[in-house]
Amino acid sequence: MSADEADAQRAEMLGVWERAAPGWGERADEQRAFGMPVSAWMIDHLELHPGEELLELAAGPGDTGFMAAELIQPGGTLICSDAAEAMIEVARARAARLGIENVRFQRLELEWLDLPAASVDAILCRWGIMLILDPAAAAREARRVLRPGGGRIALSVWAAAEHNPWASVPTQALVELDHIPPPDRNQPGLFALAAPGGLRELLEGAGFGDIEVETIELERAASSVAAFIAQTRTMSGAFAEAVNRRSESERLAVEREIATLAEPYTDARGAVRFPARALVAVATA
């Protein structure tokens, strides 16, 4: 891929996030509850102290960082960052609502962090690093901005598609109806770092040490398949944009296909409970 093609792909992916941001704001409470076990693991394993500088990357609505902000008080600052301006606006409004005061907001691209070397004590990055063209560059950048010796990083990515039907079922429905090609797992996406050992290799390759990787099981629940589809349309810009391009009858066919694929996860009252599996890692710089 040429540098121009790579930049075009980055701009296209970022555009999807900019457009999805308002929906992420509307569903931020839901997302906070869904991801709580992962956020709690990441925050616990960072062992934060008062006065530390904490950086959240690809923060989206910012909740993981906001949950940690109290632990660096007094004297510590959270830098809440994302590449999408609209996501930063969502996070800014959320921090104001939650009364988080020791936070500043900055637009940062994971692959080139506009921060001085050795300037932060700890980094959080939940469900972001697998979505970009060059995760290895992002891991090197993260290590560069951490203080050598004491700096720590906590990351989370998704395990393989078969452990995450909440995400793979809607995509599978689009593929089965020939609306999109089968996903290329070598491209940026939810499962790009799902391979066993992938997260550890990424961190080792960037020079991190004391690497610990674990698996966390979650559950994505909705009161009905229709509610699950509405949730997916808000949270997955790629799904929403693929569906919005179809005719009304094609959209209904996608919904029927999702309902069929979701049957194993649907109870007698029509509520759906999909398993989800995240990988989490902590390491020192």
Ligand X SMILES: C[S@@+](CC[C@H](N)C(=O)[O-])C[C@H]1O[C@@H](n2cnc3c(N)ncnc32)[C@H](O)[C@@H]1O
Give contact residues for ligand X (rule: CB under 6 A). 14, 17, 31, 35, 58-60, 82-84, 87, 109-110, 126-128, 131-132
**Closer of 39 and 266 to ligand X (Cβ):** 39
For the CB of residue 48, give the shortest distance to ligand X in the complex, in Å.
17
Residue with smallest beta-carbon separation from ligand X = 60
Residues 204, 283: contact at Cβ < 8 Å? Answer: no
Strands 209-222 and 272-284, how do they pair?
Answer: antiparallel
For the CB of residue 20, give the shortest distance to ligand X in the complex, in Å.
8
For the CB of residue 24, give the shortest distance to ligand X in the complex, in Å.
7
**Closer of 176 and 275 to ligand X (Cβ):** 275
**Closer of 52 and 82 to ligand X (Cβ):** 82
For the CB of residue 241, give the shortest distance to ligand X in the complex, in Å.
15
For the CB of residue 176, give the shortest distance to ligand X in the complex, in Å.
24
Q: Is 47 helix (H, G, I), strand (E, B) or coil?
A: coil
37: tokens are: 């076990």
**Closer of 190 and 259 to ligand X (Cβ):** 190
Q: Is 256 helix (H, G, I), strand (E, B) or coil?
A: helix
**Closer of 123 and 259 to ligand X (Cβ):** 123
Question: What whole-number distance in Å separates Cα of residue 195 and Cα of residue 121?
Answer: 29
24: tokens are: 């992420």
Closest listed residue to residue 68, CA positions, set 42, 29, 87, 105 = 42
Residue 172 pairs in a beta bridge with: none
